[in-house]
Amino acid sequence: MPVRSTVAPGEVADALPAVAPEAPDGLEELIADLDRVIVPGLTQTQHPANFAWFPSNASLSSVLGDLVAGGLGSLGISWQSAPALTELEQVVCEWARQLCGLSGAWQGTIGDGASTATLVALLVARERASHGSQRRGGLQAESAPLTVYCSAEAHSSVTKAALLAGYGADNLRAVPLCQPGREISAEALAAAMAQDVAEGRRPAAVVASSGTTATTAFDPLAEICQAARAHGAWVHVDAAMAGSALLLPEMRPLFEGIEEADSLCWNPHKWLGSVLETSLLYVRDPAALVSVMATDPSYLRSARDGAVVQYRDWGLPLGRRFRALRLWCLLRLEGAEALRARLRRDLANAQRLAELVLQAPQWSVLAPVKLQTLCVRHDPPGLAGEELDNHTLSWCEAVNKSGQAHLTPAILDGRWMVRVSIGAEPTEWPDVEQLWALMQRAAKEAPSLEGY
Ligand code: PLP
């Protein structure tokens, strides 16, 4: 199958009946439709030549966990409603904590994604900074605005979370970056906080990025935590994609200072291989979550309350899926050693590709390759500005249209470039070599692309 789906908008919906069947369809017809309509209507995320966005692996071991969870149909609304659901979540969060080399001060929970985790962190930070304003008049009754800080290249979910948590766009600071590493400038952060305080605002939270989406830059956690602590601000670490690298002791210096943060999220559903919606949120003080999220309806009370963890009080939803099974199956059936070997393979492949790109005339690598993502551009002589953008988009589209590989273009410093994100589970070095040949051919032959 082509890596990027070739269906046109509406094609999938048009291929299916407009109304639900009155009588049951046969299983064979259903499977035929899966093959005929649904699967071709998907970009092949698990393809060895998928280098788009970020790895979104679904290892078969984790798929088994997902099937078991669906089949058991457990109702995760309280410890009593599914004791094993709660306790396996505690166990696998603890396993993952140890594998990541995090101290015993952290306790984890599994949610749907990093976006939700950031929202939860910013809600808790808001309540800590406002001394529980939600139990009074909310932010609307506060006299001094609360402020939030993040890297200028933080993920869009950080802005979204800050807006949803009620801080307001006027109180969200996108702090400038250092070059060439593209990490947040700790000095600029401290200066922004000091200015806000001088002008009567209260710094409530910093969202630090460990592995930004565009370039996998790492914000300096130790300095950030120090600056935040001076104002009593909460530090949340968004390591959505890059958190898997914590499994590798040699990569942990990138996260130096993490132990000083208040909360940390990473998604085993990205690079590590768990099926989507397996997102770990660790906090140092679960009571802070509970004080903001807990509800106590009579029908959820049981004689075990007080002796058990009620994960519904650690986040937004009441009913929770048995997500821990995915990670449990992944870790048990693959083993940590094999997972670490796969992550190291991807890091090595990224470095090998970076060497090839750097040696090639007219090609450049635009940001340090800290993990498995490369940001590249082909600069033919005489092309600049919009013409260069057109060329970049055009060769990238040629690669994607070929069906043989999939890449994502993105804007960096106002100019289009192309991200090569290595890390699909089946991707080996020959797949990366083939991609490089394809990129070079596409850049040589690229027509200009209108109307991207
Ligand atoms: N943060 C970073 C750094 C990301 O790269 C992403 C997704 O790519 C997210 C947050 C959003 O993650 P999720 O899809 O789990 O909400």
Mean pLDDT (the chain) is: 96
Ligand 1 contact via 161 beta carbon (within 6 Å): no
CA–CA dist 245, 314 (Å, integer) = 25
Ligand 1 contact via 50 beta carbon (within 6 Å): no
Angle at alpha carbon of residue 375, lines to 210 and 238, rounded to 5°: 15
Q: Thinking of the domain 336-445, which architecture would CATH place it in?
A: Alpha-Beta Complex (3.90)
Ligand 1 contact via 115 beta carbon (within 6 Å): yes
Ligand 1 contact via 54 beta carbon (within 6 Å): yes
Residue nearest atom 8 of ligand 1, based on CA coordinates: 213
- Domain boundaries of the chain, sorted by first residue: 66-334, 336-445
Indicate the pLDDT class of residue 303, thresholds 50, 70 and 90: confident
Look at residue 447 in the predicted model and tell me its pLDDT: 67
Look at residue 43 in the predicted model and tell me its pLDDT: 96
Q: Which residues contact 216 (CB under 8 A, 6 or more apart)?
A: 241, 242, 367, 369, 370, 371, 372, 373
Q: How far is the CA of 373 from the centre of ligand 1 (A)?
A: 15
Taking 50 as the threshold, does the pLDDT of residue 115 lie above it? Answer: yes
Look at residue 446 in the predicted model and tell me its pLDDT: 81
126-144 pLDDT, tens per residue? 999 999 999 999 999 999 9
Ligand 1 atom at shortest distance from the alpha carbon of 154: 3
DSSP state of 35: I
Taking 50 as the threshold, does the pLDDT of residue 424 lie above it? Answer: yes
330-359 pLDDT, tens per residue? 999 999 999 999 999 999 999 999 999 999
Looking at residues 86-94, what average pLDDT do you find?
98
Taking 60 as the threshold, does the pLDDT of residue 449 lie above it? Answer: no
Ligand 1 atom at shortest distance from the alpha carbon of 213: 5
Look at residue 452 in the predicted model and tell me its pLDDT: 44
Taking 50 as the threshold, does the pLDDT of residue 319 lie above it? Answer: yes
Report CA torsion sign: 14, 49, 363, 175.
positive
Structure token digits, residue 428: 């080996």
Q: How far is the CA of 275 from the centre of ligand 1 (A)?
A: 15
Least confident piece of the model among 27-36, 37-46, 409-418, 440-449? 440-449
Look at residue 451 in the predicted model and tell me its pLDDT: 43
Ligand 1 contact via 240 beta carbon (within 6 Å): yes
Q: CATH assignment of 66-334, given 1.10.630.10, 3.40.50.300, 1.20.120.160, 3.40.640.10?
A: 3.40.640.10
Q: How far is the CA of 114 from the centre of ligand 1 (A)?
A: 5
Ligand 1 contact via 238 beta carbon (within 6 Å): yes
Taking 90 as the threshold, does the pLDDT of residue 82 lie above it? Answer: yes
Looking at residues 65-69, what average pLDDT do you find?
98
Look at residue 448 in the predicted model and tell me its pLDDT: 56
Look at residue 269 in the predicted model and tell me its pLDDT: 97
Looking at residues 44-69, what average pLDDT do you find?
97
Q: How far is the CA of 95 from the centre of ligand 1 (A)?
A: 23
Looking at residues 161-185, what average pLDDT do you find?
96
Label residues 438-448 b or e (16+ Cβ within 10 Å = b).
bbbebbeebee
**Percent of the chain at pLDDT exceeding 70:** 99
Ligand 1 contact via 43 beta carbon (within 6 Å): no
Ligand 1 contact via 213 beta carbon (within 6 Å): yes
228-274 pLDDT, tens per residue? 999 999 999 999 999 999 999 999 999 999 999 999 999 999 999 99
